[in-house]
Amino acid sequence: MEYFLQQLINGVTLGSIYGLIAIGYTMVYGIIGMINFAHGDIFMIGSFTALILIVLLGVTAAMPVAMLVMALVLVLVLAMAFTAVWGWAVERVAYRPLRGSFRLAPLITAIGASIALQNFVQISQGARNKPLQPLISGNFKLTDGGPDGSALIVQLSYVQITIIVVTLLLMAGFTLLINRTSLGRAQRACEQDRKMAALLGVNVDRTISLTFVMGAALAAVAGVMFLLYYGVIDFYIGFLAGVKAFTAAVLGGIGSLPGAMLGGLLIGLIETFWSGYFSVEYKDVAAFSILAIVLIFMPEGLLGKPEVEKV
């Protein structure tokens, strides 16, 4: 039971990171009906930006707690701002000029942007892994291991708590933004019918650009959390995490924000439990197999809505 609880905590933590990335995929698809395949590399840019800022600012675990928290918040905000610029640039260069073209053209340019970002980071930062000493240490012990010490000690680390809490706060904030603000109403209007939204006074170009910016900012948060959690990054993490997050978005229902987070949690749990109870080499096979099974019986995903063709 203790092993199950520990894997559950690990799976929720990993799933929270996937969910944050998946939201960017599902937001873009919900408005323009296209997949931003450069989004995973935007996540990677966020991780590298955070690492560079941590080194430049001299952030270490030896700092006082209050100063460490302030430094990490500053790193997070700057990484979100810098990565948001990259998200805007991808939309401006790879999507807007081809928005009226055939559907395959923006997909090809997005893949090109992904390769360009990967190679840019590889050349500028090197191909080797970039390690980071743990900045947030300590944990809560949920079980004590029993009187004879034979049982597993279930731990919830401070880093895991940080990731889960940040994810919950961002989900709550984005839900309020989508449902209660003028930008959210504009995004929902563009999702239903871009042409009609433009006729009613919605600035479609601005709304789409801000959607890319918001998705990139969320990817930056996921990148910072990934760096703090695993402590090592490389230029290729964007591809792997991007594929997993895209799978999560499809599993939960592409176009649905709650579905993206649910899909991320499920992918994280599937990977973690499969690695813990079976073979770690086949965890990706298990995740994609579950995706295929779900889509056979629910083609729109778990929380997705059937696409209605407008006549």
What does each C-alpha distance from 109 to 92, 93, 116 come to in angstroms?
11, 9, 10
In a domain, 5, yes or no: no
CA-based nearest residue to 210, from 193, 175, 245, 186: 186
- Give residue 88's pLDDT: 92
- Give residue 141's pLDDT: 81
Digit-coded pLDDT (tens) for 164-201: 999 999 888 888 888 888 988 998 888 888 888 898 88
Q: How much of the chain exceeds pLDDT 90, in percent?
A: 39
The two beta strands, 130-131 and 232-233, are antiparallel
What residue type is 25 in one-letter code?
Y
Digit-coded pLDDT (tens) for 217-242: 999 999 999 999 999 999 989 988 88
Cα–Cα distance, 188 to 139 (Å, whole number):
41
Confidence of residue 84 (pLDDT cuts 50, 70, 90): very high
- Give residue 19's pLDDT: 92
Cα–Cα distance, 225 to 93 (Å, whole number):
28
Give 99: exposed, middle or buried? Use CB within 10 Å, 0-12, 13-18, 19+.
middle
In a domain, 260, yes or no: no
Digit-coded pLDDT (tens) for 10-48: 999 999 999 999 988 888 887 777 788 889 999 999 999
- Give residue 265's pLDDT: 92
In a domain, 304, yes or no: no
Cα–Cα distance, 296 to 54 (Å, whole number):
45
Give residue 50's domain range. 21-143+150-236
| pTM across the whole model | 0.90
The conformation of residue 276, written as its DSSP 8-state character, comes to: H
**Number of domains forming the structure of the chain:** 1
CB atoms < 10 A from the CB of 14, how many?
A: 24
Q: Which helix (H) or strand (E) holds 155?
A: strand 155-157
In a domain, 249, yes or no: no
In a domain, 295, yes or no: no
In the chain, count of helices (H) and strands (E)?
Answer: 11, 4
Paired residues of 141 in beta bridges: 155
In a domain, 184, yes or no: yes
In a domain, 284, yes or no: no
In a domain, 247, yes or no: no
